[in-house]
Structure 1
Amino acid sequence: MNNYTSIIVPAYNEGERIKNTLNGIIGIDEIDEIIVVDDGSSDNTESEAKSVKSEKVKVFRLDRNRGKGYALNFGIKEALKNADIIGFLDADLGSCSSEVIKLIKPVLDDEADVTIAQFPRAKKKGGMGFVKGLAKNSVLEMTGVELNASISGQRIFKREVIERFDEIPYGYGVEVGMSIDILKWGYRIKEVLVQMTHNETGRDLKGFIHRGKQYYHIKKVVKQKKKEWGAK
Structure 2
Amino acid sequence: MFTSVIIPAYNEESRIKSTLDGIKDIEKIDEIIVVDDGSSDNTKKVLESYNCEKLKFHIQNLNKGKGRALEIGLKMLDSRAEIVVFLDGDLGSTSVEVIKIIEPVINGECDVCIAQFRPASKKGGMGFVKRLARDSVYKQTGVILNATISGQRAFKRQVIEKFESIPDGYGVEVGMTIDILKWGYRIKEVIVDMTHNETGRDLSGFIHRGKQYLHIRKIAKAKEKEWGNK
The two structures share one fold, judged by TM-score above 0.5: yes
1:46 maps to 2:79? no
User: Which residue of structure 2 lines up, in the alignment, with residue 6 of structure 1?
Assistant: 4
Q: CA deviation at 1:166?
A: 0.3
TM-score (norm 2): 0.98
Note the alpha carbon deviations across 1:177-229, whole angstroms, 9 max, x for none: 00000000000000001000000000011111111110111001001101110
- Matched ranges for 1:55-70 at <5 A: 55-70=53-68
> Which moved further from structure 2: 50-59 or 105-114?
50-59
Q: 2:17 aligns with which of 19, 33, 57?
A: 19
Note the alpha carbon deviations across 1:102-148, whole angstroms, 9 max, x for none: 00000000001000000010001110000000000000000000000
Please give the root-mean-square deviation of Cα atoms over the aligned residues, in Å.
0.9
CA separation in 1, counterparts of 2:207 and 2:54?
37
Q: Which amino acid aligns with 2:108?
A: D
Note the alpha carbon deviations across 1:53-82, whole angstroms, 9 max, x for none: 111011111120000011011111112633
Q: Which amino acid aligns with 2:197?
A: N
Q: 1:117 aligns with which of 115, 118, 126?
A: 115
User: Which residue of structure 1 lines up, in the alignment, with residue 145 of structure 2?
Assistant: 147
CA separation in 2, counterparts of 1:170 and 1:119?
22
1:229 maps to 2:227? yes
Q: Are the counterparts in 2 of residues 46 and 59 from structure 1 also a CA contact under 8 Å?
A: no
Q: Which amino acid aligns with 1:137?
A: D
User: Which residue of structure 1 lines up, in the alignment, with residue 91 of structure 2?
Assistant: 93
> Which moved further from structure 2: 73-82 or 41-50?
73-82
Q: 2:189 aligns with which of 175, 188, 191?
A: 191
Q: Are the counterparts in 2 of residues 73 and 168 from structure 1 also a CA contact under 8 Å?
A: yes
TM-score (norm 1): 0.97
Q: Which amino acid aligns with 2:204?
A: K
CA separation in 1, counterparts of 2:202 and 2:148?
24
Q: Are the counterparts in 2 of residues 22 and 49 from structure 1 also a CA contact under 8 Å?
A: no
> Which moved further from structure 2: 148-157 or 73-82?
73-82
> Which moved further from structure 2: 120-129 or 73-82?
73-82
User: Which residue of structure 1 lines up, in the alignment, with residue 81 of structure 2?
Assistant: 83
